[in-house]
Amino acid sequence: MSVKFNILLSVLNHQEIISKLSSIKTAIAPMTLAILVGFIFDWLNFPVGWLLGPMITGIIYAIIKGSPQPLPRIIVMLGKAIVGIATAFRFSPETISIVTTYAIPVVGCILLTAALSMFKGYLLSVWGGVSRPTGFLASIPGAASAIVAMSEELGADPIAVTILQYLRVLLVVFIVPTATILMFPAIDQTQTTSFLLASGKTTIPMFWNLLIVAGCCGLGIWGGKQLRLPSSAFLGSFIVGLTTLWGTPYQLQVPQWLFAVGLLLVGIFIGVQFDWENARKLWKAILVEIVLVIILIMGFFVVGYEFHQFTQVDLITSMLSFTPGGIEAMIATVNELGGDAGLVLAIQLTRMLTIILIGPGLTTLIAKKIKRTNIVSE
């Protein structure tokens, strides 16, 4: 009996190894293309080229293949972890006091953007031919995976929610960084680079620096998963990186080439998940979604501008703090332009958590009200 069990265990382990090798082999072609296109976009000085280039490459690759080509999840987890560490190493201690100082306008802007998102969901259900719960859940910005997971339980169409949420992220990640970088000049980098080095800290060799970064990424991915954080790899690594930065006597940094690797991994993972077949079935809702998301982005930009006017926080930081999702892309953009990445992260996280807490409950109430209305009318 024991011999048979050992043989069975050996066969299962062998199959698992073959499966992993197969997934690695499948990832080689899109990753190679993503690296090539990333270099081209970077050479052309395209806005956030190492994110958008691989993402577009992934979309085209999935369309050519005729179906989504999912990559091993460790790829996006590692990419988000690198972006999280880079954000932590640029986090300004003054950010916390700024968020506290402007608590009322921050909360007011978050509630306003939440209202805009819910109204967009209502219009999507009316004009796009999807159910009311589907329209609302598809319009909740932030933590798309969590929204998709709860969609069926709330009476929505999981497939439609997945496609429309994915499309929203795609549009936000493509439009917002491009528009922001074209509209506004970069801020003087001395405003933010000083946050990389606290007074009295000394530099360490790059080998040890990279070793610490790798340790922070590994611990962050594991810790974020254990704590079930939204965007666990990103937030887990950010928390670990911030703790390490403030606790160590050394200056730590994420080299630009490593940050580009993180953006590439996130971009290609998003791109290859594009589902052309299902997208064609929802063509009407998708066309309406594209128009509404563009209008929503403009509305969020107005909210960011008013926040800038009221608080005197720089315009780039204000604009990127209230975008409808795409937190990693916003962090990459604010890092490139020289805004306050810490403040953008703080407001984006506050907005995301607020909407996650309010959105599903509000959707459930609306769905119940619709059902009662239908019953009465019958």
Q: pLDDT (tens digit, 9 = 90+) per residue, 286-341?
A: 899 999 999 999 999 999 999 999 888 888 888 888 888 777 778 878 877 777 88
- Kind and range of the H or E run holding 104: helix 103-127
pLDDT of 199: 43
Q: What does the alpha-carbon distance between residue 254 and residue 89 come to, in Å, rounded to a whole number?
A: 8
pLDDT of 158: 73
From residue 64, alpha-carbon distances to 39, 59, 174, 220, 278 in Å are 22, 9, 21, 35, 15
The sign of the torsion formed by the CA atoms of 197, 201, 202, 208 equals negative
What's the domain range around 184?
73-377
pLDDT of 193: 37
**Mean per-residue pLDDT, 247-261:** 85
Statement: residue 12 has pLDDT above 50: no
Give DSSP secondary structure letters for 157-220: -HHHHHHHHHHHHHHHHHHHHHHHHHHSPPPPTHHHHGGGS-TT-B---HHHHHHHHHHHHHHH
Residue with tokens 């909360």: 107
Q: Would residue 184 be called left, alpha or beta, if left means φ above 0 and alpha means ψ between -120 and 50 degrees?
A: beta
- Classify residue 108 as exposed, middle or buried by CB count within 10 Å of its CB (0-12, 13-18, 19+): middle
- 81 assigned to some structural domain: yes
Q: What does the alpha-carbon distance between residue 181 and residue 187 come to, in Å, rounded to a whole number?
A: 11
- Looking at per-residue confidence, does 73 or 93 come out higher? 73
- By C-alpha distance, which of 351, 311, 268, 223 is closest to 53? 268
Query: Do residues 136 and 154 make contact, with C-beta atoms less than 8 angstroms apart?
Result: no
pLDDT of 173: 81
Q: What does the alpha-carbon distance between residue 38 and residue 41 come to, in Å, rounded to a whole number?
A: 5
- 34 assigned to some structural domain: no
pLDDT of 230: 63
pLDDT of 327: 76
pLDDT of 141: 75
pLDDT of 294: 93
- Looking at per-residue confidence, does 351 or 85 come out higher? 85
Query: Do residues 165 and 138 make contact, with C-beta atoms less than 8 angstroms apart?
Result: yes
- 43 assigned to some structural domain: no
- Looking at per-residue confidence, does 132 or 9 come out higher? 132
Q: How far apart are the first and last CA of the chain?
A: 64
**Mean per-residue pLDDT, 142-170:** 71
- 264 assigned to some structural domain: yes
Task: Count how many domains the chain has.
Answer: 1
- By C-alpha distance, which of 323, 332, 284, 292 is closest to 42? 332
Q: Strand, helix or coil at 141?
A: coil
Residue 6 banded pLDDT, cuts 50, 70, 90: low
- 5 assigned to some structural domain: no
Half-sphere exposure of residue 340: CA atoms within 13 angstroms, side-chain side: 23
Kindly report, residue by residue over 108-147, the tens digit of the pLDDT.
888 888 888 889 988 998 898 888 888 888 887 765 655 6
- 49 assigned to some structural domain: no
**Mean per-residue pLDDT, 26-47:** 86
Statement: residue 195 has pLDDT above 70: no
Q: CB count, 10 Å around CB of 14? A: 10
- By C-alpha distance, which of 325, 293, 323 is closest to 307? 323
Kindly report, residue by residue over 210-253, the tens digit of the pLDDT.
999 999 999 999 998 888 776 678 878 888 988 888 888 778 88
- 138 assigned to some structural domain: yes
**Mean per-residue pLDDT, 250-262:** 86
Query: Do residues 161 and 138 make contact, with C-beta atoms less than 8 angstroms apart?
Result: yes
- 147 assigned to some structural domain: yes
Q: Which of 7-11, 261-265, 278-282, 357-361 has the lowest mean pLDDT?
A: 7-11
pTM of the model: 0.66
